[in-house]
């Protein structure tokens, strides 16, 4: 019984229940802010607008998390009798010192805000940075993560992003080189390409309507004549479309008995 009374006495102290209530209020406030921000994202009319809002929301979540965390800590310190006003004044001085010590971090924050305001890119966009191409999977105030189709992830400090190519803000053109054997008649091959392959290419899911084109012979290779075709599509579909385009070309060439060369080795028997 004494232990129970001691436990009740401990819990009823303002330092204990005040701590618990303050933390719970902080968590509830953060959860409410997340719910409100999520509704802002879903209210976007277009896919690009939703992606942009999603990026801004993720940044605001981080900001709210830190702000609410600091406020909760200050309330708890006040419960335990610390002079919060003096502490806040001290934090101002500390912030100045940290600002000088953490200049690169502040540059990252400014860079992150600039990326959003200047509309460099948003989460979900396909971008090219220093020859690395991939999808932006995360954008925070400090860094940006880009994931390539191979699975490799590039992490860049926002302060270093001063030049980037946003591929999602334009239509992608996917090219396919089709190798055909030299013995095949050029006019017949071109007829098959224009009447069959391009027609089927327009039916591929994700391809822009009537965008397939034949560009002519692109190369006279050692064992083949390469014919060049292309289609337009969304940037995030380009790699899948390229595979589907080659598959479509192969199917139509096989249907029409057009030879596709492959490496061969001729062996000659030496004679006396």
Q: Are 91 and 77 in contact (CB under 8 A)?
A: no
Q: Are 122 and 54 in contact (CB under 8 A)?
A: yes
One digit per residue, pLDDT tens: the chain, 272 residues? 555 555 555 556 666 667 778 888 888 888 888 787 777 666 655 665 666 667 777 777 777 787 888 888 878 777 777 776 666 666 666 666 555 555 677 777 777 777 777 778 878 888 888 889 888 888 877 888 999 888 899 999 888 887 888 877 677 889 999 999 999 999 999 999 999 999 999 999 889 888 999 999 999 988 899 999 999 988 778 888 999 999 999 999 999 999 888 765 556 565 65
CA–CA dist 49, 54 (Å, integer): 9
CA–CA dist 144, 58 (Å, integer): 12
Longest dimension (CA), the chain: 113
Please, which residues have CB within 8 angstroms of residue 22's CB and are 6 or more apart in sequence? 72, 75, 76, 79
CA–CA dist 54, 44 (Å, integer): 9
Query: What's the first-to-final CA gap in the chain, in angstroms?
Result: 113
Closest by CA position to 260, among listed 224, 215, 230, 220: 224
Its CATH architecture, for the domain 120-168, is Roll (2.30)
Boundaries of every domain in the chain = 2-101, 120-168, 171-255
Please, which residues have CB within 8 angstroms of residue 74's CB and are 6 or more apart in sequence? 84, 87, 88
Q: Which two tokens stand for residue 118?
A: 């200047």
171-255 under CATH 3.40.640.10, yes or no: no
Q: Which two tokens stand for residue 210?
A: 């009537």
């Amino acid at each position: 019984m004494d232990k129970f009374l001691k436990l009740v006495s401990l819990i009823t102290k303002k330092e204990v229940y005040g701590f618990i209530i303050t933390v719970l209020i902080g968590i509830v406030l953060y959860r409410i802010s997340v719910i409100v921000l999520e509704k802002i994202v879903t209210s976007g009319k277009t896919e690009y607008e939703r992606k942009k809002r999603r990026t801004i929301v993720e940044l605001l979540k981080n900001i709210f998390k830190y702000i609410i965390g600091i406020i909760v800590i200050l309330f708890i310190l006040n419960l335990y009798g610390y002079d919060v006003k003096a502490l806040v004044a001290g934090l101002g001085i500390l912030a100045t010192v940290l600002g000088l010590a953490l200049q690169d971090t502040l540059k990252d924050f400014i860079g992150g805000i600039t990326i959003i305001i200047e509309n460099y890119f948003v989460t979900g966009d396909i971008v090219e940075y220093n020859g690395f191409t991939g999808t932006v999977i995360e954008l925070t105030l400090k860094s940006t993560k880009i994931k390539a189709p191979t699975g490799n992830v590039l992490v860049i400090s926002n302060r270093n992003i001063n030049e980037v190519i946003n591929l999602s803000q334009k239509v992608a053109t996917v090219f396919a080189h089709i190798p055909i054997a030299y013995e095949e008649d050029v006019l017949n091959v071109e007829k098959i390409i224009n009447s069959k392959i391009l027609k089927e290419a327009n039916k591929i899911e994700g391809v822009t309507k009537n965008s397939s084109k034949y560009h002519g012979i692109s190369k006279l290779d050692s064992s083949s004549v390469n014919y060049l075709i292309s289609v337009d599509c969304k940037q995030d579909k380009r790699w899948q479309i390229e595979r589907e385009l080659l598959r479509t070309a192969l199917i139509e060439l096989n249907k029409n008995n057009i030879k596709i060369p492959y490496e061969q080795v001729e062996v000659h028997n030496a004679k006396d």
